[in-house]
Amino acid sequence: MDFHYYEPAKGHGLKHNPLNAIIAPRPIGWISSRSSAGLANLAPYSFFNAFLYDPPVIGFSSISWKDTVQNVSETREFAWNLVTKELGDKMNQTSEGFRHGVNEFEVAGLTPVASRHIRVPRVGESRASMECKVSDIVSLRSANGEKTDGWLVLGEVVAVYIDRALIEDGIYQTALANPILRSGRGDEYIQVTQDRMFEMPRPLGSSHPDFHGSRGS
């Protein structure tokens, strides 16, 4: 193989930064939050994932101290909402850099639904949502210890909502929800469909927790 090599600190030498395209696809963190004054906010984050089973922890990273990070730092609560193909356009609308105080639920024509354990609304049209209580907000640093303008928000999942139509024989059907994920440059997404899914049996005796999760996953 003929490798294109670069060191990020010296620039990548390409038309677009390839980092996002290499680490792809990535699930979308469609995060709803609420300020201490009660203002609702809804914004998508492409740096998002699950980090722990027990207790369940999910998190997202923001490249600056935006309204969402400010809100969760004040209330210590947020909700995650699944983005499906049908909601793609509405999610995209909420990515605009609105001025402080604009309600993205109203802009995108989405329904804020009250949660049970947090005071943050979830997206009523989303087929799966999670209520979270903030466990940590981390100021990201470089390898030499210098502070960056990046913030990692981690939250413990305290409640989960799943459209029952997505559950068959007690198993959540990922492809049935038609989720979309971030892929590559700014406008690129991937849709999960059943024909693109495949199974890969684990090696006999495999128990690597960091790759497959628990043995029952």
How do residues 39-79 score in pLDDT, each as one tens digit?
999 999 999 999 999 999 999 999 999 999 999 999 999 99
Q: Considering only 27-41, 163-177, 202-216, which range has the smallest mean pLDDT? A: 202-216
Model confidence over 130-186: pLDDT tens digits?
A: 999 999 999 999 999 999 999 999 999 999 999 999 999 999 999 999 999 998 776
Looking at the domain 16-190, which fold is it? Answer: Pnp Oxidase; Chain A (2.30.110)
> Average pLDDT, stretch 85-93?
96
Q: Which residues contact 196 (CB under 8 A, 6 or more apart)?
A: 175
Structure tokens at 76: 């210590």
As beta bridge partners, residue 33 has 41
Residue whose structure tokens are 């802009």: 107
CB 83 within 8 A of CB 126: yes
- Mean pLDDT, residues 83-94: 96
Of residues 28, 91, 23, 24, the one with CA closest to residue 58: 28
In the chain, DSSP finds a helix count (H) and a strand count (E) of 5, 14
All residues at 6 or more sequence positions from 43 whose CB lies less than 8 Å from its CB, including other chains: 30, 31, 33, 66, 67, 68, 94, 95, 104
Please report the pLDDT score of residue 74 as a whole number.
97
Mean pLDDT for all residues in the chain: 92
